[in-house]
Every structure is written in structure tokens, then in C-alpha cells.
Amino acid sequence: MRSSKPRHLLWFGFKIVIALFFLSYCLFASLKLHSHVKLPSLHPPAFHASPSLRYHHFEGTPKIAFLFLARRDLPLDFLWDSFFKNVDAAKFSIYIHSTPGFVFNETTTRSAFFYGQQLNYSIQVIWGESSMIEAEKLLLLAALQDPANQRFVLLSDSCVPLYNFSYLYSYLMSSSKSFVDSTKKRSRFHEATEIFYTDWTFP
């Protein structure tokens, strides 16, 4: 019997690619990671701990992890700044994958929420190539180090929040589903899309 692992890896890649497709149109993907999280190995292996067990019984305030895949800076940082302003810091975390060597500090971003939030290890990303998937995996891997992160939102550098934090927080926390899109409500922004993932599991 052939190992089923390559198929799983492929399937994983496929799902991420779909998410990235939507990201490119600046939609909003969130996913709930199920308890059997096992990510394909990365090169170089940036982290060692397997997060799978820690996700079974998390107690405390759950966080939404905002994972930004940026080309360089975040041009819409000022919008995100007002989105995160006055929000309980225990309820969210921010991770940014940007071009290697790019530092989010006073010079490069207008929002203090982004200072020092870029991954220490990042790769050169080419649009539409598998490096995008690798970068998303790096973001997820970093976010999975914190068991408080219970929801994961994949964003591009041109995404903007359409709803306030409290609305988004209760929306995502009360759902066990995964979305490609920001909300079920139809609007001009996303009338062509529907939630079509009901269960996004990592094999």
C-alpha cells in the first residue's frame, strides 16, 4: 500500500492555494484548526514543538491570530490601527510575513501594533508560486506556538477590515467552521462568493 502522506500534503497545498486565490482579491479567510494539527515539515525547521496536544484543552481567553502575508509594508496599517485600537490585547495576536530583512518599526509602519511582529524567518515570495504557500505555513507555524491562538485569519497587505473587532471576534469564536470570505452577509464587496468550506481540517 502506498503511503497516503503525499496525497495529504497535496490536499493541504490545494486548500491553501484556494485560500491564497481569494486573498489575492483581498477577501478574508479564517480557519479553525482542528485538534489534529500536523503541518508538513519546513525547511529550515523553525519550530520543534508539536502543537496538536495543546489545542485540546485551552483555558483562558482565546485569541484571533491575524496572519498578514505582505510584499513589504502594510499600506493600510492606519486602518488596522483603528481596528485594533482599544481592543483587549489578550484577544488577538499579529504575525507578518514580509520580505526577508524587512523590519516593522517606527520608520516602516504607522501603527505600533505592527512593531516587531514580522516573522524572524521569512522567505522570498513570488506571487502565484508555491512560495506563497510556504510563507502561509510559516505564519501558521509561528501562530501555533501560542495555544491561546484559537482562530486564524489569513490576510494580504491589501485587506481591510469591514467590521469592527468585537463583531468579528464573537462571529469567529462562536463558529467552529472555516470561511473563505468575511461574513455570510452579501454585499457589493463579496457578492460573488459564498462560504464553501464547512470544515477545513489539516490532515
- Asked if 143 touches ligand NAG (CB under 6 A), the answer is no
Which window, 32-40, 51-59, 64-72, 106-114, contacts ligand NAG (CB under 6 A)?
A: 106-114
Length of the chain in terms of residues written: 203
The closest alpha carbon to 129, from 29, 24, 9, 1, belongs to 24
Q: Which amino acid is at 92?
A: F
Q: Minimum Å distance from CB 182 to ligand NAG?
A: 12
If phi over 0 gives left and psi between -120 and 50 gives alpha, with beta otherwise, what is residue 49? beta
Which window, 47-55, 130-138, 158-166, 182-190, contacts ligand NAG (CB under 6 A)?
A: 158-166
Q: Return the number of the residue (156 or 161) whose C-beta is nearest ligand NAG.
A: 161
**Mapping DSSP to helix (H, G, I), strand (E, B) and coil, where does residue 149 land?**
strand
Size of the site for ligand NAG (CB under 6 A): 12
- Asked if 119 touches ligand NAG (CB under 6 A), the answer is yes
Beta strands in the chain (DSSP E): 29-31, 63-69, 92-97, 149-156, 179-180
Radius of gyration of the CA atoms of the chain, in A:
16
**From the list 105, 124, 131, 170, which residue makes contact with ligand NAG (rule: CB under 6 A)?**
105
- Asked if 107 touches ligand NAG (CB under 6 A), the answer is yes
Q: Beginning with the edge strand found earlier in the chain, give each strand of the sheet holding 29-31 in spatial order.
A: 92-97, 63-69, 149-156, 29-31, 179-180
Between CA 11 and CA 5 the distance in angstroms is 10
Q: Residues 91, 104: contact at Cβ < 8 Å?
A: no
- Asked if 124 touches ligand NAG (CB under 6 A), the answer is no
Q: Minimum Å distance from CB 77 to ligand NAG?
A: 14
Between CA 96 and CA 99 the distance in angstroms is 10
**Omega before residue 100 within 30° of 0, cis:** no
**From the list 14, 25, 78, 167, which residue makes contact with ligand NAG (rule: CB under 6 A)?**
167
Q: Minimum Å distance from CB 1 to ligand NAG?
A: 40
- Asked if 184 touches ligand NAG (CB under 6 A), the answer is no
Q: Minimum Å distance from CB 87 to ligand NAG?
A: 9
Residues of this chain that bind ligand NAG (CB under 6 A):
103, 105-108, 119-120, 142, 163-164, 166-167
